Structure 1
């Protein structure tokens, strides 16, 4: 079980889809378009601001060296 899932249409792509939210007791599926749109927007924002795989690995290595 993960901390939170994102599945569905990407922001700005097509309408429809769903968001699956994993929690300790299982998964909650939301199909309300307004809610799906908000999750898509948040997901796209996180993806746009995330480090690349290479930069993430370099960051983890720097932090590990300080320990």
Structure 2
């Protein structure tokens, strides 16, 4: 592989990393918002179990999408 090809691959991987960071940030912001809503509701311990499952699925989907 030439140095130009390596350079292009590095740029692409950096762009993908920035996209992944922004996606993770938006998911974290959404998680924070939803968690604050759940705290205000009754039976929050039951909903938090479902919500933790949602967090795991969300990050798995992001990881799968960008890898």
Name which structure has the greater RCO, CA cutoff 8 Å, separation 6+. Answer: 2
TM-score, normalisation: structure 1: 0.33
Q: Looking at CA atoms only, which structure, 1 or 2, has the larger radius of gyration?
A: 2
Name whichever structure is richer in helix by fraction.
Answer: 2
Name whichever structure is richer in strand by fraction.
Answer: 1
TM-score, normalisation: structure 2: 0.33
